[in-house]
Structure 1
């Protein structure tokens, strides 16, 4: 049963009310015009409200009421007027009912159409979003242009390629994005596709991006049409083939870089690529050879052996050298052929190889052997270490006899090895670092000192590292020229010790004392501290020399120096001035009281005897002290004051110290520089 909506129920009540009003009007004999109007209203309301199905019952009710009214009040209208009224009612009821039903049907159709449009729009939107999602997630560059070559859609890959957002790109042309030359080429292809109404596939383009970089793409351009078949624009799909192009160019470069005939074949022996040397040797172009086999370019007697060896390489999956006859400018010559399988995953997909004409090999080999022996003899007789390392791996490629001796290994144990195979890691790190520095800067590098240690041998060497470049300026190896400077360094060390250190006591001598004084005085000035300069001389040391000899005296001086060094600070200087005189630089004092404590400590070192060759020697010393900067700031003046105070200490009986400021002054006439 059909359910009425709330408005429908109201209309039904209204219609029934009008019908009741009509019946009552007729029953009570109301005015004819009122009855006619109410009857007409009933017909109209029922027709408009419920259509033809309600207009007929309304017409029947209205007509029945009017007929009854006519019967009661026959004088209200003549017969023809009554018929006309009833016919009009009939026409109005039918017309309005049909009109209302037609309107409702059209309304329903419109609503259905609207719903269908909305549903279709939602489907279209969903499909569009799905398409955009698919296009945005494929690696290809996809775009759509209108007939004016303006972008109307691009995917994420296109945005990333040109580094522009879709909001910017929509409505733009290639001329707004790419350089004019590239844009013209692209526009020419697009116009050709639209004019010919034919797709253009596999277009290789080298495009320059906004960031200045370039990339190779293969573009496919197709026209799209409206419902009438008219071209409305183009769809473009481009793939980045930069890596593939680079690999192709690299393969071509590699093959053409071979000084011999070189090729790449599939597993059935068909040429995929060959170099120019191979093509020229059979008087064909590379394009003519590609896709062919050796049976198509060589005599059958040679080609069969060639094919059999190709198949052997595929079957065994091993690299191998062969000797075969091939043509060179139409002449059969013996070649050494290298073949290697090309493996993709677990499958052998082809072979790669090269062929070298070795017809003159014997003569060249003999000459090469002679030159190699001569070169080896020259290298081995050079009296300095010589080695050569590969620029990429830094493995030893050549060494001479001196290098073998310095490293402590024979040539066979060194060639092909790196520094890490021969030396401790720390040393190897240093050597490798310097090798790389020379190669990276393409300049000669001199390392003054290296501690070379291999096995049980340790020497100091001076090394010159020189990068050797090819014709393109690329380093191919590094040459090392090393000289053993161990004896030279030892001599330098000895000379330095003789120049700055006392030979007997190993203490600084007066020359080094001067340098130490300068440094200490500058520090005292900076820190605003006092510094004591002390001169010490043994009391009656001449008796030791006279009784036991100068050799015993020298050993005593050494014993004294060793004892006093133990109580000296690292920042202080304890030096032998000459004979049995010693000088001290003791810094960082605030007052002379602290200096006295240190002076007492030095004199206390004489309390116990010195045992030299089982002889106990009881010797004392006298000290004179001058103070920087209280007494003076000049080195010579301070030494003179300390010397003067020392002699006064001796006059007091020795085994004591005297400060210059407390002395009688100028007890010595010695000059100090």
Structure 2
């Protein structure tokens, strides 16, 4: 009977001819490709007997040599004479031999030489691998997408492009589909050579040889990174627009080009007394007063004929109940690339009261007094000569300017104020009135006492019976509340809600302006990336409310160290950015950084609790380090990382060496992540011996990384990075799992009470669900928690808060023993020990 690959799982996934040999070169197992290629029908024979080779010794040297070697000439049972490459690899089941047909490779090379020059011109990235996944070819577009040159990546595995954002099951499902002979289509994220992530729409197609077996895979990648970024930015823009749209104190409506309403905010719906379902789809004519439709249509026709950006009109709208109201409508016309209007956005302000006031003024001069009394509570009113000399004013006018009526009558209106800005506004209004016959604008005016206010101002003529202007009336409605609401919306969009500091968007704008100015005046600009040390500890320990108070206080301290023209922005979390424009030399950036660090020296007091919190700062300079805003921010972030590595509580200027160090660090992080995923770690056990009897009573589980390149690595080479990145959780669970498995295998040789000791990191100790994970692992192995001792450092539990004691007592109640490691490095107090439920103390030093 022929041994099949079902009995040897290591052969089942190999597409090429493969077999397993014992130490005497006897075939113990083959896959289907081997049987087909060599016409193999025998079992229990040596490799040199199974196939007729021209030179048996060359074959055996190739198998045992460990490198792919071409063996010229063999004759199968079918009588064909061929050459193959053979590669031997030792495995636990025996020597694995994999063969490849040289003639097939040559035919593929000849075909490829005709096709690949054309493929190299395709804009999509092309990657070709052999059946085992080894990269054979990439085109120029792929090089541009990935940053890898062909000579660097050919021979590698496509896993070099893995971004870390997809799960193992994602790749498993993809390969299952490909190996079943079907093409794969989907979107995934790859990692460029420089570490950045890019999105591709990928199609992978399996290629079959003349025997119907998969010989190659062809992958076509279309880079859609910019498309996804544009989609994300569009979504953010739409969110901001929707926020302003819904919170606006004015009505807002959106129509298509013919004038059908597609959307409206709640304020406009309130004005009309409708809900959105009643309004959507209606034409503007349906909600426009009949007498105003013709003028409205005339303006719409003008917009269709002339490329105007927008227009303004007064019109009457009809409410659902049939009543009308006057509105000032400002319309922005949105056009396509051919300058054809396809959408309009209108801002509608209810000006019914204002129009009614203007109509009352124009009806009759005799009714002016009654109108003045009606307006007394809501506006400033004045009658004047055409040259601006005051004839009559209302009481509110006198109160606003802090003067009595006799002192004002007969005086030019522009001499009422000493504040230059208000005087200039009066003069400009009179000038425009004389030129156009009317002045209408929202203007700011400074009161005699009190804050500046905004007024909707109308200066209009007073006509006699013949229609001749005999003077002018100035009506000013106080719209300060609306202005404040609008300014508040703008401020909210550009500032952090917690600290009221400029947000990321406003900071980016100011940085851009500072760089333009620096380039023009040959100045320097510094960007400081400030991160609060130990903030996560404060948040986790005292709660988010305390954390928010710390952030507000930290923002004020940073501001206190800056010049008036400097900017501090909260970027999110506990990260702040500082912009120092107009620098003459680098020393000023260092001086500011020192002031910021000094401002953190005093403890923070939050709800009667004093907390000592420091800061770390990274600094990047224009033009020394970079010329673009994004590059400056990135380099400042790298410098901040270096400041943290050097011990926190300090500032560090960016230098080019940091770039390489950061890349090395990220590369090592990726290696550790892969090592945890593939579990490249093995347990080492250190015995613990009874001092008097010499009997071994316990072992401590240690961890070593069997690095595929560097060999055995000790914990100090990977534990710190694992702690920092959160990989320690998976690493710790794997170590405990290995310890439980080893105990289960060796328990028959252990004496009663023998214990396995396993280290727990500080992050693991406070991990949610720790007890449940440990309990499940032990119970699944059929063991008891008393067989295991959990070893924690003194620094992990030195706070002795209720949360720490609760975790310790829960572990003890479950049956786990507790060991305190490195005792003496922290409190070193026996009183301190009395409160800790521990079984074993490991003293750091005597």
TM over 0.5: no
| Structure 1 length-normalised TM | 0.38
Q: Which TM-score applies when normalising by structure 2? A: 0.31
Based on CA coordinates, which of the two structures has the bigger radius of gyration? 1
Larger RCO (CA under 8 A, 6+ residues apart): 1
